[in-house]
Amino acid sequence: MDISRRYENTLVAILFFSWGTVFLDRTSQHYLAPYFAPEFHLSHQQIGMLGSVVAVTWALSTLFFGALSDRVGRKLILVPVVFIFSTLSWISGIVHSFHQLLLVRALLGIAEGPAWSIMTAMIEESSHPTRRGRNIGIVVSAAALVGLAVAPVLTTQVAARAGWRWAFFVSGVPGFLLGLLIWKFVREPERGNASGSPGQPVKIRDFLSLLRYRNMWLCCAGAAGFLSWLFLHNIFAPLYITEVAHQAPTTAGFLMGASGLGSFFFALFFPRLSDRIGRKPVLLVMAAMSTMVPLALLIAPLYAHPWVLAAIVCLTNAGQGIGALILVLVPTESVPPQFAATAIGLATLAAEIIGATLAPILAGTVAQSYGLAAAMWMSAGGALLVFVVALCLKETHLARAARPVLQPAAAD
């Protein structure tokens, strides 16, 4: 194995665990809500607000710092934010009111936002074109394995035995180690490496040129649908399972973990498949599958057989594969390579503001009036929106193979 391939694999491994840690810290509050909500006397709307405030600050910081990293470099920003969000996860465990928790989670969103756009841009820039989808899929899959499979089981088990505050403390530990590994072993990528062309100076006014690409608008809409599906499911499904289906919080953790485990394996498979057959057909299949995840939880008889329900949500959750394509691969393949992190940040901005901010607030309000089942239907609607967007996308992988950089006219 040559040195570049060996480093590529090392980078994928480090960023895999780093991204998993990001998602562990971000999603822990969803799984711990059944524990701290009674203590703070929170309504469904307030629980939705906790998810939304992270989304707002995440959205703004991922675009700002992603664009900044296009100018000053990736590692200079990534290393400090990993230590900062890990510290904030610890601080989440010592709050004593809803407003204190809201503030801490808002700050956590600011710290975690840059990690998304910078990590994925580094992978995209450091990967051989034939392994771009595979590597992005591996890194993004960590969100499913750690944040959606391990986190719900880990946090609920720790909370059941030692209290929810200790669950936040445990969630913050891995980030300190990963920050050291990034500082020691990760190199600053050569700009333009992903396309094989030399990097070019990026001017602030040039960022607006991304809006000339039709695929960027579609990615923003699809990303909003994806995060609506993801966060409505992860915020309200544990509450639906415990309050409507009358199951124990540990059962909710088990079902959410099974769903996340399926998402992990599909995130390894589908982005790699898209390297062979293209992004669009794979995205269509994943969106259709993921629509079934929240709907399965509405089928009451399945709760008599939790292993059957766990198998269903495991075998239909392709969400993290959707994220790899709609938030990273298609945006970066639709614009010039020097705007990679900015393109990811722009799609993420729309996704976080609409899908992870407005959607949870709206769903919380609707759930307050019509029940938590309405939030599950809204989650399914988000995946359906991704399917519709995928129908309209221009294929980028095959075009990128023929021509490294798509021009605006061709992108339209």
Over range 57-65, report the average pLDDT.
85
Per-residue H/E/C for the chain: CCHHHHHHHHHHHHHHHHHHHHHHHHHHHHHHHHHHHHHHCCCHHHHHHHHHHHHHHHHHHHHHHHHHHHHHCCHHHHHHHHHHHHHHHHHHCCCCCHHHHHHHHHHHHHHHHHHHHHHHHHHHHHCCHHHHHHHHHHHHHHHHHHHHHHHHHHHHHHHHHHCHHHHHHHHHHHHHHHHHHHHHHCCCCCCCCCCCCCCCCCCHHHHHHHHHCHHHHHHHHHHHHHHHHHHHHHHHHHHHHHHHCCCCHHHHHHHHHHHHHHHHHHHHHHHHHHHHHCHHHHHHHHHHHHCHHHHHCCCHHHHHCHHHHHHHHHHHCCHHHHHHHHHHHHHHHHCCHHHHHHHHHHHHHHHHHHHHHHHHHHHHHHHHHHCHHHHHHHHHHHHHHHHHHHHHCCCCHHHHHHCCCCCHHHHC
Over range 237-245, report the average pLDDT.
90
What is the average pLDDT value for the chain, to the nearest integer? Answer: 85
Over range 31-48, report the average pLDDT.
84
pLDDT of residue 204: 52
The pLDDT of residue 357 is above 70:
yes
Tally Cβ neighbours within 10 Å of residue 391. 11
Digit-coded pLDDT (tens) for 95-128: 988 999 999 999 999 999 898 888 988 888 888 7
pLDDT of residue 398: 58
User: What confidence tier does 387 reach under pLDDT thresholds 50, 70, 90?
Assistant: very high
pLDDT of residue 194: 41
The pLDDT of residue 203 is above 60:
no
Is pLDDT larger for residue 409 or for residue 54? 54
Digit-coded pLDDT (tens) for 62-93: 888 887 887 788 889 999 999 999 999 899 98
10-190+207-411 homologous superfamily: MFS general substrate transporter like domains (1.20.1250.20)
Digit-coded pLDDT (tens) for 170-194: 888 899 999 999 999 998 877 544 4
Over range 221-236, report the average pLDDT.
92
Cβ contact 25:112 at 8 Å = yes
Over range 31-43, report the average pLDDT.
86
Given the structure tokens 């498949």, which residue do they identify?
273
Q: In the chain, pLDDT over 70 holds for what percent of residues?
A: 91
Digit-coded pLDDT (tens) for 249-308: 888 888 988 898 898 899 889 998 998 899 999 999 999 999 999 999 999 888 888 899
Over range 131-140, report the average pLDDT.
86
The pLDDT of residue 210 is above 80:
no
pLDDT of residue 78: 93
User: Where in the chain are the domains?
Assistant: 10-190+207-411
Sign of dihedral through CA atoms 151, 316, 59, 239? Answer: negative
